[in-house]
Chain A
């Protein structure tokens, strides 16, 4: 029997420099209309001067394993596709916006054509054996895409070896975008605070 895939993305908050190349690559690849985005940057700076920490996060749809948007959709337009990727069938979407209300990540928006739109993990590229556009373009290797059900995949290895978090874990929707918070191995020199960018409260 063929093993089912569970696609996931790992975002290394240590290496992201918030250049936004991922955002532009996505817009170009997926013809995202002006004024909208399927992925975006969040830059969090916190601490007490001069002991400041910064965390850069490239965020997108979390393609949750228990997706509240799919549960909320009254027409079946929002659905789970290959590898657990959450997609919207434009022709079935009424634009009722229940899915936008259901999403704790603000990952969905109303396309000017009337249907709801969001990140697809570039499934059309993945099916052709390529990485999503954001992953391919990232100049610092921050983004890693792969199959979490494959223990040998790079995403599985990263989650085995590095500390990580997910966003809004309290919502219980089992997101599949992971943010590495622990230092990369081998350990780099300690900073003045001796803490690094770990554990931003959400």
Chain B
């Protein structure tokens, strides 16, 4: 029986490109996750600072959160650095600003986030911790007590402005992690304007989940859990919009979508991202609020795992369905 067929013989065998694109390994999803997590912690910390009644001190955990976020971001940047093929040229990122390149925006946003995070953190510290910090050995040794005292004063004087700037910088960082992939037309599975907002929503939900794992005050927990719930709902809506966008797209879009929802990544996507990462924590959080159930640590752990799985799976599936290996 004769059937129509199409056979393609390709004489190109470049490492990292053939037979399917694998330029970005574990480093990039780890960085995207930690960048989103940092963005989320900054956004939720800023929200807490804006909602805090005047004169009340935040919990120890919330005071530490902006500094922890910067530590996590540094780990993410380390992963990014490890991914570079020409690591000794890393300084080149900061000798240029290319407005058309999301990665160029990202490298400058990363630098901007540090001072904003430090200001937000200094402004959140209570008097006891602040004086202990100023008297600590590293600060004295580095002769930083004077500048830190000055910065703390500024952060106090402009507390609301700092919180708003931190929210904008966090949102910029969160959106950028998605835009980085979303502007790449050669990977149909990434090429969507929804990816930026999706990664921001996912970042906010993981940031809130991270804070929920820390010992928060009752009021803080209520606000953070509420933010988490809203972020999960928005993320689910954006994920649906992303999938519907691909389903109504052209042939390559639909082939890429199949890769995610029915193909090699489908089982991981539906179980880890949709069920365990979105549906289960959403249901648990609603139950906790409505029925006054005891807080379960498993809920934020599920959100964090789901956020990581989303990035891991999208990075892998996007490369596997790249136009670069469709002939």
**Given A37-B14, A94-B90, A97-B23, A115 contacting B85 (CB threshold 8 A):** yes
* Residues 30-74 (chain A) with a chain B CB within 8 angstroms: 35-37, 40-49, 59, 68, 70-74
Distance in angstroms between the alpha carbons of A89 and B9 in the assembled complex:
32
Instruction: Decide if B14 touches A49 in the complex (CB within 8 Å).
Output: no
We find that the number of chain A residues with CB closer than 8 angstroms to chain B is: 53
Nearest B residue to A167, CB-CB: B327
Beta-carbon contacts of A107-135 to B below 8 Å, as 1s and 0s? 01110011110000000000000000000
A residues less than 8 Å from B83 (CB atoms)? 96-97
CB distance from B22 to the nearest CB of A (A): 10
**Of B24, B252, B325, which one neighbours A101 at CB under 8 angstroms?**
B24
B150 contacts partner chain A, Cβ-Cβ < 8 Å: no
A residues less than 8 Å from B12 (CB atoms)? 37, 40, 42, 59, 106
Distance in angstroms between the alpha carbons of A97 and B14 in the assembled complex:
14
Distance in angstroms between the alpha carbons of A87 and B18 in the assembled complex:
22
B residues less than 8 Å from A109 (CB atoms)? 14-17
Nearest B residue to A106, CB-CB: B324
* Residues 83-117 (chain B) with a chain A CB within 8 angstroms: 83-87, 89-90, 92-93, 95-96, 98, 100-104, 106-107
Distance in angstroms between the alpha carbons of A59 and B8 in the assembled complex:
14
Beta-carbon contacts of B4-43 to A below 8 Å, as 1s and 0s? 1111111111111110010110000000000000000000
CB distance from B164 to the nearest CB of A (A): 28
A residues less than 8 Å from B102 (CB atoms)? 72
CB distance from B100 to the nearest CB of A (A): 4
Nearest A residue to B88, CB-CB: A114
Instruction: Decide if B15 touches A36 in the complex (CB within 8 Å).
Output: yes
B61 contacts partner chain A, Cβ-Cβ < 8 Å: no
> Which one of A9-17, A169-177, A189-197 is at the interface?
A169-177
Instruction: Decide if A48 touches B3 in the complex (CB within 8 Å).
Output: yes
Beta-carbon contacts of A78-109 to B below 8 Å, as 1s and 0s? 00000000000001111111101111111011
Distance in angstroms between the alpha carbons of A76 and B23 in the assembled complex:
20
Instruction: Decide if A172 touches B185 in the complex (CB within 8 Å).
Output: yes
**Of A41, A44, A76, A97, which one neighbours B24 at CB under 8 angstroms?**
A97
Distance in angstroms between the alpha carbons of A167 and B185 in the assembled complex:
14
Distance in angstroms between the alpha carbons of A44 and B9 in the assembled complex:
6
B residues less than 8 Å from A20 (CB atoms)? 11
A168 contacts partner chain B, Cβ-Cβ < 8 Å: yes
Instruction: Decide if B10 touches A75 in the complex (CB within 8 Å).
Output: no
Distance in angstroms between the alpha carbons of A110 and B9 in the assembled complex:
23
**Given A48-B2, A92-B92, A100-B17, A72 contacting B10 (CB threshold 8 A):** no
New A-B pairs, 11, CB < 8 Å, besides A20-B11, A44-B327, A74-B103: A46-B7, A48-B2, A71-B183, A74-B98, A92-B92, A94-B90, A95-B84, A102-B184, A106-B12, A106-B14, A170-B250
6 A-B pairs with least C-beta separation? A95-B85, A106-B324, A114-B86, A40-B12, A95-B86, A74-B104
8 contacts between A and B (CB under 8 A): A46-B6, A68-B184, A72-B184, A94-B93, A96-B103, A106-B324, A114-B85, A171-B186
Query: Which A residues are closer than 8 A to B by beta carbons?
Result: 20, 23, 35-37, 40-49, 59, 68, 70-77, 91-98, 100-106, 108-110, 113-116, 168, 170-173, 202
